Amino acid sequence: MVGGGVIGLTVAWRAAEAGWRVTVHDPAADLSGPTAAAAWVAGGMLTPITEGATAAEEAGYGLGVASLRRFPEFAAELERASRLPSGLRPEGSLAVGLTADDVTELRLFADRLAHLGRRCTVLGPAQCRALEPMLSARVFGGVEIPGDLAVDNRALLGALGEACRRRGVAMDSRAVTELAELTADQVVLAAGAWSSALVPGLPVRPVKGEILRLRRSPGTPPPTSRTIRAAVPGGHVYLVPRHDGVVVGATQQDVGFDTEVTAGSVARLLADALTVMPELGGYAMAEAGAGLRPMTPDGLPLLGRLNDRVVLAVGHGRNGLLLAPITADLVLGALLAAEPVLAGVDIALVRPNRFSEIAANARIAT
Amino acid sequence: MVGGGVIGLTVAWRAAEAGWRVTVHDPAADLSGPTAAAAWVAGGMLTPITEGATAAEEAGYGLGVASLRRFPEFAAELERASRLPSGLRPEGSLAVGLTADDVTELRLFADRLAHLGRRCTVLGPAQCRALEPMLSARVFGGVEIPGDLAVDNRALLGALGEACRRRGVAMDSRAVTELAELTADQVVLAAGAWSSALVPGLPVRPVKGEILRLRRSPGTPPPTSRTIRAAVPGGHVYLVPRHDGVVVGATQQDVGFDTEVTAGSVARLLADALTVMPELGGYAMAEAGAGLRPMTPDGLPLLGRLNDRVVLAVGHGRNGLLLAPITADLVLGALLAAEPVLAGVDIALVRPNRFSEIAANARIAT
């Protein structure tokens, strides 16, 4: 296993459970603190579709739903295996709008959710504030989506690391500079944004995401129980609850491997968060961080066998946490067969060679 | 010497130079990193008066000017003694306004400065931006004050610590819980906001100040050369240059010994800073910190002899860095005499017993 982020650890734990002898290669292989993994700074919102979703993101809806359905049992098994909390929160999410236009958008989004068969409820401002009292009086309406989940990303990573240890997964912190140097029969590549350094031409590149962690101070109201999403100028802000505060996310910046948190990003995230929930101003500014999301051209991961020896589990973009359970199922299938089958999931969408085929077809056409 | 902040270290160094055998008692006595001292998170603007000064603050003008005049020679001697940079910056400050009302206020402030005999120049918007190109196009006018100074607070503390070491000042990191336990012939109390724990009834209390440190990123313009001050809703924001960025300050919060940096304060400081200089948005958010300014009821320090054994050097509020040189002169005088005399300074303003006298007089009057 090359990579000890949420994908690498999930696959390693599941593979070890299935009887494989597994070594995780990651520079942060002690797994006890901050890592370079994108999941370390994630918000932890687990939703297969948001009101801001692009058409490309909607293409992954089926995959996301299939993984979301697996999550409760996945988390329960992880807690049994690790004897640690998984960090899963079942309260769902509440999308809110602060203008009439935004609330109209939310109603269209509710129609779309209903069409997809998901439960949701359109709410007026008073109903929104009854559910989440910290919301601003400026909130104009919202949509509650009870089926969404959220997870404390660091609790989950901690539990995964412990589950791996208990299953005898070996950890190796030496840098892997090429896959050929590994002696394993089978290699799973899950090195996130760094994966293309190990498989030249792999269409995965880093997209920086910045988040803030705000911690409740004495005398301030408790954090929300639901994940809150709100339309703001230039995008959406989300507030994902933790037991002791909220995570505010997230920016998206196409700036290579730079992980600096800029003053402008912090200013925007804070201004947006305080617009939605003014009382968060009394929370402590606990952390500002940046991670590198491994992004593919179509926003969907590359999952499956690359060659006789290498299986890919890369390119999860912003959905690494959500897609971890189904990724493990797919990769375990791929370790045993060339073309795994998974009920209800269109595997073709995530086939590792889809971009080279597109490129080849384009060449034939011209 | 009880306290190893800017006052404690300055007095310790100067006293050791004058032949005293000195021990500094401070929990952070290794002096090589962050300390609880208010000076550790200071902006470092050295000005005896600002456009937002209250009447009480203006009363300390003479003291501030006397210390400001000492600063260049003080810094030069410190550099010779420590062989380290003192962090002094001679470029002065530029006060700017973003509205016609603010610029009118600045013109009145310029009149006041002229009346006090200080050099200053009223500037139009283009002139302001010619001096400091990062200023927003919204700047409506300003006043340049070339006689102000600024200092890199951490460089200064580092140089003071090294100067003390080279002069043989001893460091003791054990907590001092009462002055009686010290064996020295003479005790100088310079424990900032914590001083009243050692002298019951001392009218010094903590006022929290929060600052941000923004660091220049590749591809962004260099920091200003002058300290920039601007009127903003609810007060003033200041931007003090460092070689690699700027310090943005500062809030004032009367919340006891709490040093948590709140999300609301960071939001406000960033919003204000980016209003004055939008391009700072590309700088990295390097640090958000809080310090406890030791404040007295009239905003002026308590300097001089308390009794046969104890000399006070406390209560410098927001002006500890500015007043360090003159404080050392006064304390060295007080160590040798009951009532030191200092040319051009009204010692009565800072007499340690002025509040108990006021209280006694009030009792007599009633």
A220-233 per-position pLDDT tens digit = 999 999 999 998 88
Residues across chain A: 366
Position B356 scores a pLDDT of 83
The string over A114-145, giving b where at least 16 C-beta atoms fall within 10 Å of a residue's C-beta and e elsewhere, is eeeebebebbebeebbebbebbbeebbbbbbb
Contacts of A210 (CB under 8 A, 6+ apart): A41, A249, A250, A251, A253, A261, A262, A265, A266, A269, A288, A289, A290
| pLDDT exceeds cutoff 80 at B33 | no
What are the residues facing A355 on neighbouring strands?
none
Q: Which DSSP state fits B93?
A: E
| pLDDT exceeds cutoff 60 at A93 | yes
- Return the residue matching tokens 């990123």: B217
- Residues B63, A39: Cα–Cα separation, whole Å: 54
- A264 CB neighbours in chain B (<8 A) are 274, 280-282
| pLDDT exceeds cutoff 90 at A111 | yes
Q: DSSP labels for A289-317?
A: EEEEEEE-TTSS-EEEESSSSEEEEE--G
Q: Which of A20, A12, A6 is nearest to A188 (CA)?
A: A12
Q: Write the burial class of residue B338 (CB in 10 Å: 0-12 exposed, 13-18 middle, 19+ buried).
A: exposed
Instruction: Provide φ and ψ at B290, rounded to 5°.
Output: -135, 140
Q: Which of B127, B59, B121, B125 is nearest to B92 (CA)?
A: B121
The beta-carbon neighbor of A262 closest among B263, B266, B282 is: B282
| Residue A239 touches chain B, beta carbons under 8 Å | no
| pLDDT exceeds cutoff 90 at B331 | yes
Q: Which of B121, B162, B112, B154 is nearest to B12 (CA)?
A: B162
- Return the residue matching tokens 């420590």: B82
- Residues B366, B364: Cα–Cα separation, whole Å: 6
Chain centroid to CA A295 = 12
Read off the pLDDT of each residue in A88-97 and give the average, rounded to a whole number.
Answer: 97
State whether A212 and B274 contact (CB < 8 Å).
no
Q: Minimum mean pLDDT among A128-142, A334-348, B119-133, B258-272: which range?
A: A334-348
The angle at the Cα of A197, spanning A194 to A201, to the nearest 5 degrees, equals 115
The 10s digit of each residue's pLDDT in A184-220 is 999 999 999 999 999 989 999 999 999 999 999 999 9
Position A253 scores a pLDDT of 85
Position B353 scores a pLDDT of 87
Position A29 scores a pLDDT of 60
| pLDDT exceeds cutoff 90 at B261 | yes
SS3 content of chain B, % helix, strand, coil (to 5): 40, 25, 40
Write the ipTM.
0.86
Read off the pLDDT of each residue in B70-94 and give the average, rounded to a whole number.
Answer: 97
Is-contact A139 A106, C-beta < 8 A?
no
The string over B294-309, giving b where at least 16 C-beta atoms fall within 10 Å of a residue's C-beta and e elsewhere, is bbbebbbbbbbbbeee
Is-contact A326 A66, C-beta < 8 A?
yes
- B260 CB neighbours in chain A (<8 A) are 217, 284
- Residues B323, B3: Cα–Cα separation, whole Å: 16
| Residue A273 touches chain B, beta carbons under 8 Å | yes
State whether A284 and B274 contact (CB < 8 Å).
no
| Residue A41 touches chain B, beta carbons under 8 Å | no
The 10s digit of each residue's pLDDT in B39-71 is 999 999 999 988 877 776 778 899 999 999 999
| pLDDT exceeds cutoff 60 at A31 | no
Is-contact B252 B207, C-beta < 8 A?
yes
| pLDDT exceeds cutoff 60 at A333 | yes
| pLDDT exceeds cutoff 70 at B75 | yes
